[in-house]
Chains A and B, each alone.
Chain A
């Protein structure tokens, strides 16, 4: 019996019980109210999202876009965004792959606590996260600070410098990359890794030879998600790195700076650039995400 015929039969009268001539034949109700209600509730939200994009597009022009991109400070912000988001996404992936693998494959004492800690960047208000980073780097540590130590050892200024932009983006993006990689490893069958160990592999060799090659699609998805999260980061960057033009300015802070001086058309043009970047990332995630386990 096909699905169609089974649907047709489910709404057709069924045999009457013997001796029950007075009772009307049983009929199931229509499914339309369910679909209409669900469609109306969910569809409203989808329309809102599309309306947001349409409003952005309608409020700007190609001329606004080219004018905005001609400004050296905005060009700097574009470059800074590309570099910082890529670095933050790479760092996120570097942390996410081993951590997600350990969390998905092993049960150990403190796993629940670790799980909760990794959710902190997701649930913490962004400004609080930026403030926490600022406090951490300037907390007195035996007569010095973490900021001073990094400057002494690595010769790098962190706070209110480009490094702070990457760090602020990384702290949030890594949590999302870990979540994405955990889904990837959860979908990869652990059995072949066990078999690889019987053949002579150490756990690390089983990971590199068997699990890792299966995880590459998931890694692209995790990288893209981390990149997109970094692109949208604003609160922690503002507090920890500041919004100094030609120094720590990324596209999200450009929108804020342009708005604050009343240049709405430039703010909208930059917003549209960010929308386009986000759409590209979304496309990549959709393309590879559906086939994560390979």
Chain B
């Protein structure tokens, strides 16, 4: 579960104020907003990559507002995938698990499980430069979910993909969400994407979050 209580985040001259949002445990929240409305800033604030000016971030009931970035247990998929250029796909999926000192056997099992779920088992030996845009997105998703995060944050995961890849990734995200049961906050500005995936809808307007019943903001 994620809950934002009167959260304010500043990024240079830009500020988001008094943000309120709640996605129940295992729920799929979709946050919509136009380009430049501060969606990425909000996700980075939840991760701890941007400084919170006021308010609180609660994950599974724990106040993580002032926790270090790495302690929060948030799987973040940035818009540009943000893969590590020198690591293989296998090393990407194992990254968070190795940091948590999971045994090599469990790491191998989990990597195989995630790779199979995302259809990237045949890519495990490749480095990012040998991946297509769609493959890179799937690797980024795999890296974010492999270590069983408390929360999954997806920043425009379908951006810059063609229609065919978008539809396939939407189906994949549905399957992953069902199997992993991880609380998810998905940011997008496409209403079709929101309608296909979302259970809880929010809209970021003029630096504030408005909760809605559907992807159109109603």
Interface residues of A (CB under 8 A from B): 191-192, 194-202, 205, 209-210, 213-214, 294
Contact = CB atoms under 8 A, between A and B. Distances in A.
15 contacts: A191-B78, A191-B80, A192-B84, A195-B76, A195-B78, A198-B48, A198-B49, A198-B70, A198-B74, A199-B95, A199-B147, A200-B70, A200-B99, A200-B147, A202-B70
B86 interface: yes
A198 B85 contact: no
Given A191-B80, A200-B96, A294 B75 contact: no
List the 5 closest pairs (A to B, CB-CB), nearest first: A200-B99, A213-B86, A199-B96, A195-B82, A197-B69
Most chain B CB inside 10 Å of its own CB: which residue of A198, A201, A205: A198
Given A192-B84, A194-B49, A210-B84, A199 B70 contact: yes
Nearest to B44: A194
Interface string B66-92: 001111101110101011111000000
Contacts of A209: 84, 95
A192 B83 contact: yes
Contact of A198 (B76, B83, B84, B86): B76
B100 interface: yes
A191 B100 CA distance: 22
B200 interface: no
Contacts of A210: 84, 86
A196 B95 contact: yes
Interface residues of B, number: 25
B49 A197 contact: yes
Given A198-B47, A199-B96, A200-B100, A192 B69 contact: no
A195 B78 CA distance: 8
A199 B85 contact: no
Contact of A197 (B70, B80, B83, B147): B70
Given A191-B82, A198-B47, 14 more contacts: A192-B83, A195-B78, A195-B84, A196-B95, A197-B70, A198-B75, A199-B143, A199-B147, A200-B96, A200-B99, A201-B99, A205-B99, A214-B85, A214-B86
Contacts of B70: 197-202
Contacts of A199: 70, 75, 95-96, 99, 143-144, 147
Nearest to A188: B85
Given A198-B76, A200-B70, A200-B147, A192 B96 contact: no
Contacts of B75: 198-199
Nearest to A195: B82
A82 B75 CA distance: 50
A213 B91 CA distance: 14
A214 B76 CA distance: 22
Nearest to B86: A213
B69 A198 contact: yes
Given A199-B95, A200-B100, A201-B99, A194 B86 contact: no
A199 B85 CA distance: 16
A225 B8 CA distance: 47
A197 B68 CA distance: 9
A209 B68 CA distance: 18
Most chain A CB inside 10 Å of its own CB: which residue of B70, B78, B99: B70
B111 to A, nearest CB: 14
Most chain A CB inside 10 Å of its own CB: which residue of B47, B72, B86: B86
